[in-house]
Structure 1
Amino acid sequence: MHKVVVLYPEPEDRQAFKEHYERTHLPLVAKLPGLRAMRYSFDVSAFGGADSPYFAIFEGDFDDADAMAAAFASPEGRAVQADVPNYATGGAVVMHYPVREP
């Protein structure tokens, strides 16, 4: 499995972020070819009581790195990427990696 993780710093307007993310962005993400599962949260906390530098998190699962790359190169993937500036006023940190079992 290959995972993509998106970390969202604090936006200018939390409610506007949430509304756009759930009503517009996630439906676009759900159309990504090869996406096996996705999950997100607006309740991001740091251990030890520290303030989290992130407001929201997203995780998406693909079979492998090639499937993920193909998904984001597709018309659906380009639509997902083009939508990010419409709600993520604090930016976004995108990471991906192969998942390894211990």
Structure 2
Amino acid sequence: MHKLVVLYPPPTDRAHFARYYVEKHLPLVATLPNLRASRHSLNVEGAGAPAPYFAIWEGEFDSEASMGEAMQSEIGQAIANDAQNYASGGAVVMHYEVASAG
């Protein structure tokens, strides 16, 4: 399994971010090709200190290749461009292969 994670720093307007993200962005994300699972939180908490992020999104794909295909697709490019509509502080994007325990 391969995961794609997006971390969003605190936005200028939290209410606008949350509304836009839930009403507009997540429905767009749901149409992403090859996406196996999607999770998000708009209330990220730090462990022992304030979190540097406001929100997190995590998507699961079968492989790095399937994630790459998804992100290069027309809908993947639309999702990346849409982030500019609400992510006033930018975003940190990373991906990784999930290792099996044992």
Please list, as runs of the form range in 1=range in 2, the aligned pairs for 1:19-98 lying within 5 A after superposition: 19-48=19-48, 50-98=49-97
**Cα distance between partner residues in 1 of 2:33 and 2:94:** 19
Q: Displacement, 1:46?
A: 1.1
Moved over 4 A (4+): none
TM-score by length of 1: 0.97
Task: Normalising by structure 2, report the TM-score.
Answer: 0.97
C-alpha distance in 2 between matches for 1:100 and 1:15? 36
The aligned length equals 101
Query: Structure 1, unaligned stretches of length 5 or more?
Result: none
User: Where do 5+ consecutive residues of structure 2 fail to align?
Assistant: none
- Counterpart residue type for residue 83 of structure 1: D
Q: Percent identity?
A: 55
- The aligned amino acid for 2:14 is R
Tell me the alpha carbon deviations over residues 41-66 of structure 1, each in whole angstroms, 9 at most, x when there is no partner: 01211111x11100000000000000
Partner of 1:3: 3
RMSD: 0.5
> How far off its partner does 1:82 sit?
0.7
Q: Distance in 2 between matches of 1:32 and 1:99?
A: 20
Amino acid at match of 2:65: D
